[in-house]
Every structure is written in C-alpha cells, then in structure tokens.
Amino acid sequence: MCSVKRLIFVPFDQLHYGYGALAGADPESDTLLLVESAQKIDSYRQSNHRLHFYLSSARHFAQEMTQRGFEVIYERAPSIPVGIATVRDRKNVDEVVCTTPSTFGQQRILTQLGVKFVDNDFFLTPRALFDQWANGQKTYVMESFYRAQRVRLGILMDGSKPEGGQWNFDKENRLPPPKNYTWSPYLTHEIDEIDLEVGREIGFEPAGTWATSRSGARAQLKNFVDNHLAYFGPLEDAMTTENWALHHSLLSPYLNIGLLHVSEVLEAVLARHAKGDIPIASTEGFVRQLIGWREYVNGMYWHLGVDYKNSNNLGATGQLPEVFADSAKTQMRCVGSVVRDVAERGWVHHIPRLMVLSNFALLAGINPQVFLRWMQESFIDATEWVMVPNVIGMGLHADGGQMMTKPYVSGGAYISKMSDYCKGCKYNPKLRTGDSACPFTTLYWDFLDRHESQFASNHRMKQQYFGLRRLADRDALKARASEVISMLEQGTL
Ligand SMILES: Cc1cc2nc3c(=O)[nH]c(=O)nc-3n(C[C@H](O)[C@H](O)[C@H](O)COP(=O)(O)OP(=O)(O)OC[C@H]3O[C@@H](n4cnc5c(N)ncnc54)[C@H](O)[C@@H]3O)c2cc1C
Ligand code: SF4
C-alpha cells in the first residue's frame, strides 16, 4: 500500500496556498485533501448561489493546487469526518494536519479525529490577543477595539494621531441615495467548465455575479479599488432600488473562504489611498469594516463561546414568516425588495441586513435561532463565525446586550431617510396606527412598549422612552401591532 507522510486537510473556507497549514506545504512530501461532504451540501440547499460558489471555488482550488505540483485528493463523502477517515485508511497516512478551524463545530470534529492544528492566520488578530483585549474591557465596544487595531497595526496613523485628525468619519458617511447618479460598474465574472459542471450537478445556471477562483477574486478587488473605493464612505449606508451593490466591495465571500486574505485587501486599499486622491472618509470607512468589524466579530465569536448562538434573552418565539421564503407575500416594499435581492444573488449590504431584515425580525419577535438559520442558509458569505455575532448580538440583541449596548431598532423613518423604498409603498412610514401605518413604525413603538422593563433604564434609550411616554394612542398602537403580526403570519402584510 502506498503511504502518505502528511495529509493536509483543506476545509472549503481556507482556500489559500499562502496561509495556515498550506504555507509550509511541500509537494514532495505532502498530499492535500478536500472533502465534498453530502451533509454540508444539504445544509447549503436553500441557496443555489451559495452552494454553487462553495463547490465551484473548492474545485477550482483543487485544480490550482494540482497545477502547483501537489497530489490533491478531492473526496466525495457523506460527511467530513468520514471523508478524512476513509482517505487516512486508504492511503496509510502518518499524520493529518489542518489550519485551526474557523468554527467551534469543525474544531470539535477535527480534534476528535486527532487532526493536528497549525495556527489560523486568516485574521490579523490572533484569538489570544483578542481575548486579552476583551478581558480588559467593561463593555465590548467595537470602537475601542478598532482604535487599538489602528495603533497596533499602524494603519492610517500620523505618528500617534489618526490620519485626517479623526478616528471616525461615520457622520459624513450617512448620505441617502443620490438622485440622477451614475453608478460605477461591477464585474461579471467569466464562467468556465468547472462552474458549468457544478451548475449542471445542482441544477443552477451561474450568472457570473460571483467569482469562483482566486484570479476572479483578485479581479473583484482591483475593480473595487479602481472604481468604487473613492465613493464607498458617504454612500455606505444608503439603500436604493436603482443599484444592488452601490459602492460596496463585494469581497466578503472571498475573504470568508480564503480566496482573498485580509492583508492583501488592506494592502491594495492603502496603496490606492497613498496616491492621495481618495477621501479619507472613504478609506477610513472601509478600513473600519475590515480591521474593525470583521476582526472584532471573529474575536467575539470565539470569546463569547459555543453556546452564545442559542441566546434568546428577549424570549422571542415567532416563527419565520412566509415573506422570507417568498417576497410576493408582502406589500412592504423594503422587505419585499431586500428578500428578492437575497434570492437573486445571496447578498445585500450591511444596512439591509441590519436595518431591514434583522430590524424586522427583532420588532416582529421572530425567534433568533430560526432567523439565524434563514440568514445562514440564504447569504453567499454566510459562515458561522460571522453570522452568529452579527445576528444574535448586533441584529437581534438576543444576548442581553453583551455585544451592543442597545438594540438596533428603528421605525419606518430611518428606512425612509436612507432609501427610496418608501416611495410607492402601500404603507406610510410616518403613521403608527391605522391600515396605512408602516409596519416598522407600528412594531417599533410596540417593541419599546413590550420591553419597557428591560430597556427603559438604558441611558442610551432615554430619548426613545421619553417619546413613548408622550404617545396618547398606546392602546390603538397595541391593537394595530397585533393586527400587523396576524397579517404577517397570514402572508398578507
Ligand atoms: C445581520 C447581519 C448579518 C451579517 N452576516 C454576515 C455574514 O454572514 N458574512 C459576512 O461576511 N458578513 C456578514 N455581515 C456583515 C456585512 O453585512 C457583510 O460583511 C458585508 O455586507 C459584505 O459585503 P461587502 O464585502 O461588499 O462589504 P463592504 O461593505 O465592502 O465591507 C468590507 C468588508 O468588511 C467586512 N465587514 C463589514 N461589516 C462587517 C461585520 N459586521 N461583520 C464582519 N465583517 C464585516 C467584510 O469582510 C466586508 O467584506 C452581516 C451583517 C449583519 C448586520
Ligand atoms: S413605508 Fe414602511 S414598509 Fe413601506 S417601504 Fe417604507 S419602511 Fe418599508
């Protein structure tokens, strides 16, 4: 029997030859193993975009590593552990090695199999360093972490001061969608034989929205830096039916499976910034997402522990309304548009995720784990380490405020200000009662009312509770709120 000294297991979210276990790999002595697990495929069934992206990227990577001279085994198996065990026995393997996994579940499974781990360097912040920061905080405020990252990594710094004189340009970065604006183009990626093969297997026609190889991901990065970075900041929170991507980078899918590494994205952005014609508000806004939010969310995932995802501190029990499966089941223009966009591409930017989908789920009392499952099944960039803190902590405040000091809730006014959804909607964002009342507005006030005992003493919510107490129509509001929930359940809202 031929024997393999070192088998390097490459999970489908670590597809980079320069990091983790692959950084020191040698085609002479190492064999690579990718396992296409039927169990994983089943969990991706909901979104063909996601399933296609996941399978095609892995197969492209296997091809690329073969071209680099490695023996690559691409094993189809019922599950990852079965795949690894089968190959280990078949090839008489001495040792199985892998980069430390990106999720608790994978870490547990691979530990049980006796796989040896190499440090995970897909992030800029080692887990121990994040814990050190978190253990020294009273509250885990992202802004403090982000500033410490800027200093530690020496990014956008003038000596010990932030470049541009401010740490944060959020105030400038909240413009609504512009009128009569020409949006810069996005790439359509070439579809090759591997893409078509995967498409045939799963019954899906790829449209080229998402690249499935490192070269495609690099092209996406270049397009962002060349054509979008300069305008990223001011419009990063805007939502419009005229353009699905605005100036967002569309890089999260590639970053999350390793086709791009965070350091090369940073390098490209900072090199472009160094030319001097990119507004600081845009560069800073983007850098904040990357070295701030992304690293913070990953750190929090590990810091808060494996059970965090089951949190439901507000006791929300609502089931998933039909509108999440079928956008035609609502007359709310915002929710309908966003759900349609998600179905079309598996992606919407952070504000529709936070202020439309999660805000709605929170206001309507949808169970956090039910909503989390839908989000994980629907988004192209979904992976547990990023979805769990974003949904449980930031979106649904289901963790009792461990991540965010107050819930991200708003009525229709915010959506009306930041989007063009409300024009042409059956509902009126200014009304909270009556048949034309915007469901967001009704449910927002009802949320404050329902959770008065939990949040009234939160000093960051003083203004909101002051407003609630001045309402003269609280009974009518409650009655409309229960009508709204019934209509939602019946698919008639
Ligand atoms: C409820 C909710 C769920 C989310 N689920 C996911 C998810 O499953 N996968 C995912 O990658 N992002 C998730 N995000 C974060 C964010 O919405 C996406 O990273 C972003 O929209 C991806 O598009 P982009 O690459 O164009 O991002 P850009 O707006 O161009 O931002 C650049 C990069 O910053 C990082 N980033 C920005 N915000 C966050 C954040 N809150 N958490 C982590 N990274 C961030 C991403 O890597 C992103 O690619 C979620 C946010 C919310 C509010
Ligand atoms: S009026 Fe309300 S439901 Fe309609 S689009 Fe605006 S926020 Fe959404």
Looking at residue 47, its pLDDT comes to 84
> And the tokens for 314?
């507000």
The CATH class of the 127-304 domain is: mainly alpha
pTM of this structure: 0.96
pLDDT at residue 3, rounded to an integer: 78
For residue 1, what pLDDT is reported?
54
350 Cα–ligand 1 center, Å: 6
Structure tokens at 317: 């029990």
| Average pLDDT estimate for 446-454 | 95
Judged against a pLDDT cut of 60, whether residue 34 lies above it is answered with yes
How remote is the CA of residue 322 from the centroid of ligand 2, in Å? 18
If one compares 65 and 171, the residue with the highest pLDDT of the two is 65
Q: CATH 3.40.50.620: which residues of the chain?
A: 6-118
Q: Provide CATH code, domain 6-118.
A: 3.40.50.620
Residues 6+ apart with CB under 8 A from 112: 81
Q: Is ligand 1 within 6 A of the CB of residue 330?
A: no
Buried b (16+ CB within 10 A) or exposed e, 222-241: ebbbeebbbbbbbbbbbbbb
Distance (Å) from CA 342 to ligand 2 centroid:
18
Whether 132 shows a pLDDT value over 90: the answer reads yes
CB of residue 252 inside a 6 A radius of ligand 1: yes
Q: Which range has the worst mean pLDDT, 112-126, 163-177, 380-394?
A: 163-177
Tokens 């990119």, residue located: 278
Ligand 1 in reach of 338 Cβ (< 6 A): no
* pLDDT over threshold 60, residue 458: yes
Q: At what angle do helices 439-450 and 474-490 cross, to 10 degrees?
A: 120
Determine the pLDDT at residue 5.
85
Contact assessment for residue 106 and residue 301, using Cβ atoms and an 8 Å cutoff: no
Q: Is the CB of 350 under 6 A from ligand 1?
A: yes
CATH 1.10.579.10 positions along the chain are 310-490
Identify the CATH class of 310-490: mainly alpha
Reference 341, options 361, 360, 356, 331; nearest CA is 356
pLDDT, one tens digit per residue, over 221-259 is 999 999 999 999 999 999 999 999 999 999 999 999 999
